[in-house]
Structure 1
Amino acid sequence: MAKKSTKRSNNNPPEKVFRIGFVSASVFGHEIETDEGPITIRSVNVQKRYKDGEDVKYTSSFNLAELPQAVRALQLTQGYVERCESEILLE
């Protein structure tokens, strides 16, 4: 399939979020045009939520104790993306 154009929006909310403790993996869908018609491809963002004083902040840096949470969130995300992208729609 050849890509024709990509439609992306900075205001695109995640289609699914998996959260383990303070670590989350968010799935974003992006529709692209192909020679066979539009398809959705997915990308994943992994981050950790923490407090800095009264402010809530996010980072993509993890310490050793947080790595199992990040790994599990990514495993759940991988399964979701595989299920979504392996479905074949019949017309």
Structure 2
Amino acid sequence: MVSPKRGSDSHLAYWSEKENVHLKFVIGRSSWCWNSRLLEEQVTSLSKERVWIMAFGADPEMREAREAWDLALRLGVNYSDRLHIRLRRR
């Protein structure tokens, strides 16, 4: 599992060519996180069964969780939750 940061196109290109690597994209407001629009553009060229979307979260509210869930459903890719934060065991 590799989690490419926004703007790291060379890393994304390298890892996306590897058949045994899954890519986990984090949606959020931080500068290194992806947003829905950028991620939709990236996913079209990737193997959907190897793509995971996870919300950025440092508190139990995880404001981006619904956006990440909806985007994963719409794109037909995997969703990853942050259970350790939901359970308040960061």
More strand by share: 1
TM-score with structure 1 setting the length: 0.33
TM-score (norm 2): 0.33
Larger radius of gyration: 1
